[in-house]
Structures are given as structure tokens and as C-alpha cells.
A and B are shown apart, each in its own frame.
Chain A
Amino acid sequence: MRTTLRRVAVGLSLAALTATAAACSSATADSSATSSGTDAPAASALDGKGEVSIDFWHAMTGKNGEALTQLADQFNAKNKGRVKVNLQFKNTYDDTLSAYKAALNSGQAPDVVQVYDIGTRFMIDSKSTVPVQAFVDADKSTTADIQPNIAGYYSVDNKLYSMPFNTSMPLLYLNKTAFTKAGLDPANPPKTLDEITEAARKLTVKDANGRVTQYGFGAALYGWFLEQWTAVGNQEYCDQGNGRDGRGTTLKLATDDHVKLLAWWKKMVDEGLAPKLDSNTTTADNAFTAGTVAMTLESTGSLSGFLKSSEGKFEIATGNYPKINTTDAGGPIIGGASLWVVGKGKDDAHKRASWEFVKFLSDKDSQATWHTSTGYFPISKGALETEVDKQWVAQRPQFQTAITQLQNTPLSKATQGCLLGAMPQARKAAEQAMQAAVLSGTEPRAALEQQQEALAGPIKDYNQSVAG
């Protein structure tokens, strides 16, 4: 009897463990969407409402989090008695979005939420937000101050849906000291895959036992990088005009360029010019700042951190994000995250208060503060013209590469980036293919085809569930 009971107890506790994990977030199902409209109330909505308190869910840690708190304090001081914003840190982008989904179901949604670029299609489809464009139109103002390439990502049918906030683009980072030592010119960084190989051969250093002490190149097998390479090649990453003309149905993973890229990467590893790294960017970042790899790929957002960790050890230079083919004439996508004004279940005063806060974060002074304290790319053209910003860039010439790179990037559907409901899964699928080809030695085309096929299901599921 005792054993039977215990058996049941163990079994049931296991059941509870697994079942509740899946059930708890969907048990509160209440899909009766009483859309309180996606119209944007005018400034008068705040009149006579006293101090309106709004919640902002974000995913900014460390220095970035501190800078955000500083901006929010400024806003609260300025709007005393009118609007008060409460910051709520929700861990990673992934977790923030999960929390937002659950909150929509239980009616506990925040007023403003920060969502990563690849969550854009999902946010539009959730029909829970007020498009930023609606507020801009209601205020009879414009979005002219926003960098067009940045606004491009978050615009669908020429309508700006969310306010870009923390944006970054990828760069090629060089260990300047190692470059000079190897007789290379850091002012003239490699521009293509072949040039990287050539430089890496000179940069790779072995010790007396034949073990590599410095690799020429090394970057995380991060899905974002593959998206960037595609855009630099001026290629669309998914069909339907990168998901901008209609709902995307296929991810173009198994392309000749991608095959070429992964074959190149594998060869770099086989030749001992690059270490085997996984998709975790922190690991690759550490390898670069420790001097183990002499060239890496990272976002502009990492510049400040890199400068700090390499201080006294070596100098850093930057170059444009490399091309797969010499003829590639596109440019990188400017990614990051944006701010969404939640409309579902919110009254006019809250919607308006949210917009006031979003507007504040996007103006040129806030963006100059934000840029100089975090290293993210300012979304406001005017921010780059402010004194504080000019000084900051003058002290960090490495950042000038990013500004020039952005200015030289033509705005096209390719450089706007692929919009896909299943984009987070698509990024993961790309990483799986990269890992398969570079780490487990699967033939690149086979690895890419396999993941493209595996992703067809989630894309179809997503499109079906949106259709109802």
C-alpha cells in the first residue's frame, strides 16, 4: 500500500510539473477581444485626469537600464502632476514578449512595452496596440527626424507601427594592435569573406607546440548575422517582398550565398583560422576582448563594453560589415527594439500618456543621452548634431564607421529586413543550420535545406492561427 501510494505520488508530481508548466499560461484563456479601438486620442485626453500612472515593460540591463531609469526620471520630473511612468524590468526580450502575451490574456497588460525587432509582425497581428503613426497624424507632426533606415524596419504599408528606441547595426571589429603587429593596415579592414581569410592567415599565431594562441577571426553563429549578410547582399530573406507586400510564407534559407558563407566559415575552422564558437554572443565577445580572436562581428551596442574590457591590453578599430561577394551592394539592417503603445483595454488618458512618454524618449535630446550613455545608434537625425553627441563620437572614432555605414545603406525591401510572424523561430532555425554546417560538419546546403523545411510548419501554423 505504501509503495503504491508513493508510486502514485511520484507519478502525479511529475505530471503536475509538466502539465502546469504548459497549462498555467494558457489556462486563463479569455480571447474575447474587446478592442477599445486603435485610434489615437489628442493631447486634451489628459486634461482634468490628474496624474496618470503608466507601466512600461522593458528588457534593458546594466548600464542600459541605468540610462533608461535616468531618462524616465527626467520625464517624470517634467510631467509632474500629469503623467508618471513606472519602469518594470522584464528580463530578456523573449521573456518580455512571453509576459506580454500572458498579460493580454489576463487583462494585466502594461501601457508601453519594448519589443525586439523580430517581434514586429507578431505585435501587429496581436491587434493590441495603437500604431505610432496614428498619434503622429493626430498631432499633425511628422516622422522626418527619424533616420529613414531605422523607421523602415518598423513601417508596414508606409505606416510606422512602433517607435524605434534602442537600435544597432553590426560592424566588423578589429584588434588594431594585432593588425599592426601582423603588418596589416587597420585603417583598411577586410571587406569580403576572401579578404577576411587572407588577413586571418596573417593574424593567426601559434605557440611552440603548434597550438593556436590567437585566431584570425571568430564570431558567434548568431542568426542575426545571417540576416545581416543577406541584406548586405541586397537579397530578401523571406518571400512576399521580405514580408512587406503580403504575409511571408517561406524563409529563403537555402540560397547560394548562404551556402557559400557557411562553406567559407567551415573552411576557416578547418584551417585553424577560427575557433569553434556557438550561437552565444557573450562567449564570442569574451574571446575577442581576451585577445583570443583578432576579428569579430558584433553590434554597435557592444562598442562601449569592448573599449572598456580591452583598455590597457589592445586598441580597437572597426570596419563595415563584410560582404559575401565583392559585388554585394546592399547594407545591413538596423535592428534592435522598439516601443509599442498598448491600446487594448486602455482608456484615452492612458493611451495619450503612453504616447507622451514614447515621444519624449524619441526626441533628439533623449536620444543623444541614450546614444552617448549606451552606444546604441540614435534614431533621431538631430541627435547626431547635438554638442554632447558630437563630442562623444569624436572621442570614439570607431563609431563613425557605423554612421557612414548607415548613410551608405540604400533603403530597399532587402535592407528593411524580413517581417515574419515566426521570425524568432526563423532566427533559431538559421542558427541550427549554421551550427550543423560549421560545428557538426553537415554539408551546408543540406543543413540549410533541412532547417528551411523544418520552419515551414511553424510559419504555416502562425499564418493559419492569425487567419483564425
Chain B
Amino acid sequence: MTAPTLLAADTAARTDRPPGRPRRAAAPARARETALGLLFALPGLAGLGIFVIFPLFQAVYLATRGNDILGNPTRSVGMAHFQELLTPEFGTVLWQTLVFTVLVVVPGVLLPLALAAPMTQRLPGMRVFRTAFALPFAYSVSAASVVWLIMLNPGISPVNWALGLIGVPAPNWTTEPGWAMATVVGVTVWMVSGFNLLVLAAGLAGVDEEVLEAARMDGATGPRQFVSIVLPMISPSLFFAVVTTTLAALQALGQVQIMTDGGPNGHTRTLVYSIFDNAFHNNNSNFGLASAQGLVLLVIGVLIAVVQFGVLERRVHYR
């Protein structure tokens, strides 16, 4: 759903009037050009309208309605659904979403970065490693979740068996509140790392050898070179990885639903899971409350976007 809307927005952006046109062209020609421009913009605008603008208003409308048992909007309930959000339960959901997102984004970017650095060295066999490490990216969320669920199943877990060999007692991966969060986070990190590795490795490969050599001559080696030269040069890739991983973490649903179903006792309940739960799960059809929570997600998403693009992107060095 994200991709088409992004495309649509891009199309809209490109219809900005081209600069440097002569001020007074012949009037009919200008009108024709405007009409043509609008015509080209129409598919994009239509997409934007149908898939973005309309659902947004629909969500606002639904958030103020009750639902019948089939999920149809009925009477107006005013702000009641939003009042339901002012509870400690929903506070916990938001807190857990924040914890989840931070725990996914930080290692989900740093780990691939640490792996990408040695992997861009021209050593024999690195190509194989790169492919192997990038592979998790090819898994669908549900497939990855099921595979990990089996890997960590207390009855047949190969992971527990391996831990047993080195004398470490296996934790209750999905049934201990703290561990359940760690497990879901771990699987998500495992899934996003592959893609981030590709992005960061490509960024590192693009770093100009001459620049590094120049830096070396100026005495910048080792960590200093990495922090002052390499990081700024790959900052566009890094920024891209941070933004996409944040979005992926905020939208995470499949791994939570399949691995823990929000449990144990709601300890892995995140915002998107909560929206799904209220709207579709267990024969629920509380679209009103789900829409209200969806609007909260929108606000959070916009806030994070503002921070990332307003603060972080200023430090990104585009060549």
C-alpha cells in the first residue's frame, strides 16, 4: 500500500511548473499546456485522492461512529473512542510500540553496518557471505515468523539444544514477558538486516578510494577515518536505512500476531497489532476504535517523519 502512494506523491511533485519559462507566451498555447499538465497529473491525483485523501477522511468519520455487529458505522459516539485512548492500557501499547521500534531500529541498522564494513573488503568468498547475510530479506514475514517459532519451540527447538550443549539454560522465548518482546524484536531485526546490509554495502562500495587515501595522508586512519570520512560519505544510505527500518518497525504486525499473538498477557501488543485486533481479530468489528488508533499512528508517523527529515537529514551529506 505504501509504494503506490509514494509514487503518487512523487508524480504530484514533478508537476511543479518548470522554471525559466518565458513570461508571456501566447495565451492559447499556455492554456493548452496547463490542460495537458493537468491531464498528465490526473492519474497521480486520482490515486492520491482514492487511496490517501478519501481514506483519511473516512478514518476521521469512522472514529466518531459506533458499529453494528457487521461493522457498519451507526450512531455518532462523538469523542468516546478517543477517550478510550486515554487509558493506562493504551499507554502501555504506545510504550511497547516505542520500545519495539527503538530496539529494532538501533541494532537493525548498526548490525548490518558492522557486517557491511568487512564485507566490502576485497577478500575471497565475501560475495557468498554477502548473499547469505542478505537472504533473510527474501523471506515473507509470515514464513520467517513460522520458521522462528519452530526453531524456538520448547519441545523441538534446535536453538535450545545448541544452548544446552554449552550449558546455557534456554529461556522461555515466547512465554516470558521480557523474552517474548526480545524474541519478536530479534526476528524483526533478523528480517530487516538483510535489506539494510545490501543498502549499506552499496553505500560503502561507492566510497571513493581517492578520498580515503587523501584522508590517510592527512593522518586520519582507523576509527577516525570511519567516523569523519566514511560515515558522512555513506550518510545518504544510512539515512535511508534508518527511515525505512523505522517505518517497518512501526508497521510490524505479522511477527507479533504469529509468534505471540500480542502475548503473553498483552506484553508484545503494539499499536498496529492493537488496530488489527480491534478491527478484525476474534470477530471484533470495532472499526471506530481502530480508526481512532489509526489516527494516532498517523500523528506518530508524521512526528517521526518531521524529526527524521527536519533534524537527521540536515546532517546527511548528499554528493
Contact = CB atoms under 8 A, between A and B. Distances in A.
A211 interface: yes
B283 A275 contact: no
Contacts of A6: 309
Contacts of A14: 2, 247, 250, 297-298, 301-302, 305
Given A436-B265, A439-B176, A287 B153 contact: yes
A44 interface: no
B175 A439 contact: yes
Interface stretch (B58-66, B96-104, B197-205, B222-230): B58-66
A12 B9 contact: yes
Contacts of B310: 3
B1 interface: yes
B148 to A, nearest CB: 12
A435 B262 CA distance: 11
Interface in B263-289: 263-267, 272, 275-276, 279-287
A57 B310 CA distance: 51
Contacts of B149: 280, 283
Given A8-B9, A18-B298, A94-B283, A279 B59 contact: no
B28 interface: no
A279 B265 CA distance: 10
A421 B283 CA distance: 9
A369 to B, nearest CB: 30
Nearest to A428: B282
Contacts of B156: 286-287, 290, 292
Contacts of A31: 68, 70, 72
Nearest to A95: B280
B264 A101 contact: no
A19 B59 contact: yes
Interface of A: prevailing SS: helix
Contacts of A19: 55-56, 58-59, 291, 294-295, 298
Instruction: List the 9 shortest-distance A-B pairs measured between CB atoms, nearest first.
Output: A287-B155, A14-B301, A18-B294, A9-B9, A19-B59, A19-B55, A290-B155, A424-B282, A424-B283
A278 B174 contact: yes
Contacts of B247: 10, 14
Contacts of A61: none
Contacts of A2: 13
A220 to B, nearest CB: 11
Interface string B173-206: 0111100000000000000000000000000000
A277 interface: yes
A119 B283 contact: yes
A293 interface: yes
B120 interface: no
A3 B306 CA distance: 10
Contacts of B294: 18-19, 21-22
Contacts, number: 232
Given A15-B52, A16-B5, A26 B69 contact: no
B55 A23 contact: yes
B283 A97 contact: yes
A425 interface: yes
Nearest to A210: B169
Nearest to A101: B70
Contact of B281 (A29, A94, A209): A94
B235 interface: no
Nearest to B282: A424
Given A3-B309, A31-B70, A278-B263, A101 B167 contact: no
A126 B68 CA distance: 10
Interface string B40-72: 000000001001100110110010001111111
B9 to A, nearest CB: 4
Given A211-B164, A293-B155, A432-B266, A21 B279 contact: yes
Interface string B140-174: 00000000011001111000000010010100101
A292 B280 contact: no
Interface residues of B, number: 76
Best-surrounded residue of A5, A439, A447 (most CB of chain B within 10 A): A439
A442 interface: yes
Contact of B51 (A3, A20, A105, A287): A20
Size category of the A interface is: 35 or more
Interface of B: prevailing SS: helix
B50 to A, nearest CB: 10
Given A15-B298, A16-B51, A440-B267, A94 B282 contact: yes
A298 to B, nearest CB: 14
B73 interface: yes
Nearest to B250: A14
A126 B286 CA distance: 16
A283 B154 contact: yes
Interface in A439-468: 439-440, 442, 447, 458, 461-462, 464-466, 468
A289 B298 contact: no
A289 B153 CA distance: 12
Contacts of B55: 15-16, 19-20, 23-24
A201 interface: no
A41 B283 CA distance: 31
B260 interface: yes
A421 B250 CA distance: 32
Contacts of A9: 5-6, 9-10, 13
A144 interface: no
Given A26-B287, A283-B153, 11 more contacts: A15-B301, A19-B295, A26-B72, A29-B72, A283-B154, A287-B153, A287-B156, A292-B156, A423-B283, A425-B282, A465-B66
Given A104-B70, A289-B155, A22 B275 contact: yes
A23 B59 contact: yes
A275 B176 CA distance: 11
Nearest to B167: A209
Contacts of A461: 66, 286
Contacts of A381: none
A122 B310 CA distance: 49
A122 B272 CA distance: 26
A279 B263 contact: yes
A394 interface: no
A21 B263 CA distance: 22
A118 B282 CA distance: 10
Interface string B12-54: 1100100000000000000000000000000000001001100
B265 A20 contact: no
B290 interface: yes
